[in-house]
Amino acid sequence: MTKILCAIDDTEHSLPAIDVAAKLAGALDAELTLLTVNQLVGGYGRGGASSLIWTEQEVESALARAAAEAEKGGASKVKLVAVESRDIAQGITGYAEQNGFDHIVIGTGGKGAVSRLMLGSVSRDVVGRAHSPVTVAR
């Protein structure tokens, strides 16, 4: 394992994922890429404008905080990446596949059964779509 992708979203649910990914990367001397997906919303239909959930400054800030946590956790080769996508899970798995990652680490929000049915689960979707092993950190 030489390339690990850790998906983050600037919530407390990302912290266990960053910790697991940093420890893996440190132990294996692997490259760790911290990825956030800035979700595109709106823009459906004729002439509709889409917008991003986060500003560029919010994305940079989230990635910088994640990088500091990863370095505290033992990762020495850390890259920061942001992508834009309507579908967060597709943004994560597409980037991982296109860039040849060996492993994906993602946190989970701990949603209940009703929330999962209504809202879906990014971590569940990543596990189902990924072309590499996935660790879901709690």
CA 79: distance to chain centroid? Answer: 13
Query: How does pLDDT run across 74-128, given as a tens digit for each residue?
Result: 999 999 999 999 999 999 999 999 999 999 999 987 654 444 443 458 999 999 9
Query: How does pLDDT run across 21-68, given as a tens digit for each residue?
Result: 999 999 999 999 999 999 998 876 666 667 999 999 999 999 999 999
CA 67: distance to chain centroid? Answer: 13
Residue 45: its pLDDT value, please? 64
CATH code of the region 3-137: 3.40.50.620
Q: What residue spans define the domains of the chain?
A: 3-137
Residue 117: its pLDDT value, please? 41
Report the distance separating Cα 7 and Cα 24, nearest Å: 14
pTM, two decimals, is 0.89
Residue 42: its pLDDT value, please? 81
The single-letter code of the amino acid at 4 is I
